[in-house]
């Protein structure tokens, strides 16, 4: 795990200031505290900040250049099957001077050209330059575990692990993308290739930039929807694939830790890690002071069951504005989730003894863990039934269930998926043209994903969550852990596991507890029957029920230990409110101050958690504007 920055020059021989390159790379110093490297020639300037995990020797430092061909690479991530590829390359006559996966990556390209990407099992973002044909390749892994951003300027194409490195380059615009900012409010993430930075794009998962003679083309080298259609999984495949993924991701020359909440996903991860590692990982759990939200008892039971060393890390106030501001500055992104400070606190504690941690992200997206979202097809079908009822009865049903009966599948899903509904944003945002462009951009993005997914409504939702929601979540995990110099590995995002899980029909992933349950649920809102009448992530529960403690299989999801609605109107959020409502608010050019105050006063009368989540997003956007653009 590292931080990378570089330039592919538009015109060969353009002079490049080494100090300017280093200054940009220094914005990523927290990602790679072990070594720094710089390579500049007539065509490219590559910089690297290294966190040493595989072959810690200086000979494996980057940027790395192959002496025989002159091919050079700067690379962030891990190739989990590098040993198998290395053996294959040896059989082809290649020799190696390091024990690193970086050398395997570069020689794989030399052996097979850009098709080598399909051989890689890993999490990666890299830039490679081949002087033999003046070709540069910039690529990102299949699911988006490793981030990569780029922009075009007068000297050429710039790329980096985080946007805050790019805006240090002279001449790169330093300002917000307003459409991106509104997207963040809607979905806690900027969808598609857009970012929060004007003129800066993200390289989307499974995509590749190819640059020759100053011109770049963008192509998709891995397509999830195509892979799903080829997969015919069985329940037993899930356990085999996940166990294999954990085993491969335990490979490191340093000890590996694991996050353990005592929930289903992390407990399965702990079991597989304990069963497949000669040196059993140390497990870490965050402990909050609120008893109703304390998971340490569950985690301790799991650790004891599998004979794992267990450490508990106290988690402080999750809304401390100074801690939030620090993380926003390091990440170069507002905090969309209020548990990110807890993740950062854990990462800092773990990084004192470890460089690698296994985490459980991805299971909810591929195995239907978000019941409220994955029951959207059930609600959509109910809405059609309601539409056929006599008007008086239909009105009663709509009020009780809160269902809109006159919209498409996509509109129905987006209304539920959105954190900040577009009509509320419309009432706050100043620029009507921007509002309309924002709504069109979102609709176009999700329409395209629904079309790509094909299949039934459940399949479309699953595809959106893996293609849009999961990359944003992975970016949060990556940037938050790397802010503490810690590499996070996410075995549930193994591409073979993902395609197998998503090829399963919805009825195999989200089950009713009994045949009568779907009828019992008819007259109840999803929030009242989720986890009571249905069973999420059924393949995981089925395959691991013989090894997990019963308490893990039966426990419900635990919310976050901060009632956000009450917090937003209480003393703990005073500084956040000041940020929004002072006359010099950083959001003053984006939102109508009077409309924003009316919105807050209306929410203040009945401060729900939904209102609190919106307030959190707005305030974090303000902190981001202050920290990055002021």
* 438 three-class SS: helix
**Measured between alpha carbons, how far is 598 from 610 in angstroms, rounded to an integer?**
17
Report CA-CA distances (Å) from 149 to 44, 216, 476. Answer: 17, 14, 15
Residue 53 in this model has a pLDDT that exceeds 90: no
User: Taken in order 87, 88, 91, 93, is the CA torsion positive or negative?
Assistant: negative
Which residue do the tokens 């809102």 mark?
525
Per-residue tokens: 515 = 């045949």
What is the rounded average pLDDT of the residues 332-345?
92
End-to-end CA distance of the chain: 30
Question: What Å distances lie between residue 495 and 227, 362, 466, 492, CA to CA?
Answer: 9, 11, 11, 8
Is 560's pLDDT higher than 60?
no
pLDDT of residue 429: 84
Q: What's the chain's average pLDDT?
A: 92
For the structural domain made of 227-369+463-554, what CATH number should be given? 3.40.50.620
Residue 580 has pLDDT above 70, yes or no: yes
Question: Mind listing the pLDDT tens digit for each residue in 133-174?
Answer: 999 999 999 999 999 999 999 999 999 999 999 999 998 989
Tokens of 341: 């400070």
Q: What is the pTM of this model?
A: 0.94
Please, which residues have CB within 8 angstroms of residue 320's CB and are 6 or more apart in sequence? 341
Does residue 348 have a pLDDT over 70?
Answer: yes
pLDDT digits (tens, 9 = 90+) for 209-234: 999 988 999 999 999 998 887 667 78
pLDDT in tens, 175-198: 999 999 999 999 999 999 999 999
Separation CA 55–CA 536 (nearest Å): 41
Asked if 1 and 51 count as a contact pair (C-beta separation under 8 A), the reply is yes
Contact between 272 and 492 (Cβ < 8 Å): no
Q: Are the beta carbons of 18 and 26 closer than 8 angstroms?
A: no
pLDDT at position 306 is 96
Report whether pLDDT(558) > 80: no
Dihedral (CA of 151, 156, 161, 164) sign: negative
Query: What pLDDT score was predicted for residue 562?
Result: 63
**Cβ count within 10 A of residue 134:** 16
Q: What is the mean pLDDT of residues 536-559?
A: 90
Fold designation for 2-222: 3.60.20
> Is the preceding omega at residue 63 within 30 degrees of 0, hence cis?
yes
For residue 236, what pLDDT band results from cuts at 50, 70 and 90? Answer: confident
* Tens-place pLDDT, residues 112-137: 999 999 999 999 999 999 999 999 99
**pLDDT (mean) for 349-374:** 95
- Evaluate if residue 475 carries a pLDDT over 80: yes
The pLDDT score that the predictor gives to residue 54 is 59
* Nearby residues of 425 by Cβ (< 8 Å), 6 or more positions away: 182, 185, 186, 435, 438
The answer to whether 328 and 617 have CB atoms below 8 angstroms apart is: no
Of 50, 307, 198, the C-alpha closest to 628 is 198
Q: Are 354 and 255 in contact (CB under 8 A)?
A: yes
Task: Name all contacts of 551-555 with Cβ < 8 Å and 24+ positions apart.
Answer: 551/262, 551/298, 551/301, 552/262, 552/263, 552/264, 552/267, 552/298, 552/301, 552/302, 553/264, 555/262, 555/263, 555/298
pLDDT at 52: 63
Instruction: Give the mean pLDDT of 252-267.
Output: 92
Asked whether the beta carbons of 247 and 536 are under 8 A apart, the reply is: no
Q: Express as a percent the part of the chain with pLDDT over 90.
A: 73
Closest CA to 319 of 344, 294, 354: 344
**Residue 7 pLDDT grade (very low, low, confident, very high; cuts 50, 70, 90):** very high
Task: Residue 194: count other Cβ atoms within 10 Å of its Cβ.
Answer: 18
The pLDDT value recorded for residue 136 is 97
Q: Six-digit token pair at 530?
A: 């989720």
- Residue 3, pLDDT above cutoff 80: yes
> What does the H/E/C string look like for 200-238?
CEECCCCEEEEEECCEEEEEECCCHHHHHHHCCCCHHHH
Percent of the chain with pLDDT over 70: 96
DSSP conformational letter for 591: B
Instruction: With cut-offs at 50, 70 and 90, classify the pLDDT of residue 394.
Output: confident
Q: pLDDT at residue 413 above 90?
A: yes
| The two structure tokens encoding residue 278 | 């000669």
Instruction: Give DSSP secondary structure letters for 504-569.
Output: S-HHHHSEESSTTHHHHGGGS-HHHHTTTTEESSHHHHHHHTTTS-HHHHHPPP---SS-HHHHHH
Kindly state the average pLDDT of the residues 479-484. 94
Please report, for the chain, the start and end positions of each structural domain, with discontinuous segments joined by +: 2-222, 227-369+463-554, 563-630
Per-residue pLDDT at 318 exceeds 80:
no
Q: Which parts of 371-516 fold into alpha helices (H)?
A: 371-374, 376-387, 391-401, 409-417, 422-428, 432-453, 457-464, 470-482, 495-503, 506-509
CA-wise closest residue to 69 among 100, 105, 106 = 106
Whether the pLDDT of residue 249 is over 70: the answer is yes
Coil, strand or helix at 239:
helix
| CA angle centred on 233, ends 230 and 239, rounded to 5° | 135
């Amino acid at each position: 795990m590292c931080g990378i920055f570089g330039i592919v020059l538009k015109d060969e021989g353009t002079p490049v200031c080494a100090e300017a390159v280093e200054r940009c790379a220094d914005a990523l110093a927290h990602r790679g505290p072990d070594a720094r490297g710089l390579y500049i020639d007539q065509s490219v300037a590559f910089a690297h900040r290294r966190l040493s995990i595989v072959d810690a020797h200086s000979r494996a430092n980057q940027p790395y250049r192959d002496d025989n061909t002159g091919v050079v690479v700067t690379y962030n991530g891990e190739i989990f099957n590098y040993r198998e590829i290395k053996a294959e390359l040896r059989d082809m006559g290649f020799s190696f001077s390091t024990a690193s996966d970086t050398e395997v990556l570069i020689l794989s390209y030399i052996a097979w050209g850009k098709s080598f990407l399909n051989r890689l099992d890993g999490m990666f973002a890299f830039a490679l330059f081949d002087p033999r044909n003046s070709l540069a390749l910039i690529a990102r892994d299949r699911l988006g575990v490793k981030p990569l951003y780029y922009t075009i300027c007068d000297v050429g194409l710039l790329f980096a692990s985080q946007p805050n490195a790019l805006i240090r380059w002279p001449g790169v615009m330093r300002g917000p993308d307003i459409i991106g900012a509104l997207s963040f409010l809607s979905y806690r993430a900027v969808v598609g290739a857009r970012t929060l930075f004007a003129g800066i794009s993200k390289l989307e998962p499974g995509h590749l930039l190819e640059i020759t003679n100053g011109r770049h083309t963008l192509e998709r080298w891995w397509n999830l929807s195509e892979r799903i259609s080829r997969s015919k999984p069985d329940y037993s495949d899930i356990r085999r694939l996940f166990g294999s993924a954990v085993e491969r991701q335990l490979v490191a020359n340093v000890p590996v830790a694991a996050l353990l909440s005592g929930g289903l996903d992390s407990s399965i991860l702990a079991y597989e890690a304990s069963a497949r590692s000669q040196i059993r990982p140390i497990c870490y759990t965050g402990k909050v002071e609120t008893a109703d939200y304390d998971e340490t008892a569950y985690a301790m039971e799991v650790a004891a069951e599998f004979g794992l060393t267990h450490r508990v890390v106290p988690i402080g106030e999750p809304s401390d504005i100074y801690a939030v501001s620090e993380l926003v500055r390091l990440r170069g992104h507002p905090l969309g989730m209020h548990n990110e400070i807890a993740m950062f606190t854990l990462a800092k504690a773990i990084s004192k003894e470890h460089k690698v941690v296994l985490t459980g992200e991805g299971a909810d997206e591929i195995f239907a863990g978000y019941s409220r979202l994955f029951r959207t097809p059930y609600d959509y079908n109910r809405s059609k039934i309601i539409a056929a009822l006599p008007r008086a009865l239909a009105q009663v049903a709509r009020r009780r269930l809160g269902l809109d009966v006159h919209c498409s599948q996509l509109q129905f899903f987006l209304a539920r998926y959105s954190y900040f509904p577009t009509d509320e944003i419309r009432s706050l945002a100043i620029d009507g043209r921007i509002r309309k462009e924002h709504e069109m951009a979102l609709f176009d993005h999700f329409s395209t994903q629904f079309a790509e997914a094909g299949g039934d409504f459940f399949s479309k939702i699953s595809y959106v969550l893996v293609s849009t929601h999961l990359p944003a979540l992975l970016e949060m995990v990556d940037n938050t852990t790397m802010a503490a110099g810690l590499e996070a590995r996410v075995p549930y995002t193994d591409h073979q596991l993902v395609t197998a899980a998503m090829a399963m029909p919805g009825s195999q992933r989200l089950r009713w507890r009994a045949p009568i349950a779907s009828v019992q649920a008819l007259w109840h809102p999803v929030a009242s029957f989720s986890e009571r009448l249905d069973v999420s992530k059924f393949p995981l529960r089925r395959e691991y029920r013989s090894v997990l403690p019963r308490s893990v299989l039966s426990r419900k999801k635990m919310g976050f230990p901060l009632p956000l609605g009450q917090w937003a109107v209480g003393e703990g959020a005073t500084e956040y409110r000041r940020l929004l409502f002072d006359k010099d608010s950083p959001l003053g050019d984006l939102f109508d101050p009077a409309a924003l105050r009316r919105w807050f006063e209306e929410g203040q009368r009945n401060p729900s958690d939904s209102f609190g989540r919106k307030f959190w997003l707005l305030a974090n956007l303000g902190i981001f504007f202050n920290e990055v653009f002021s």
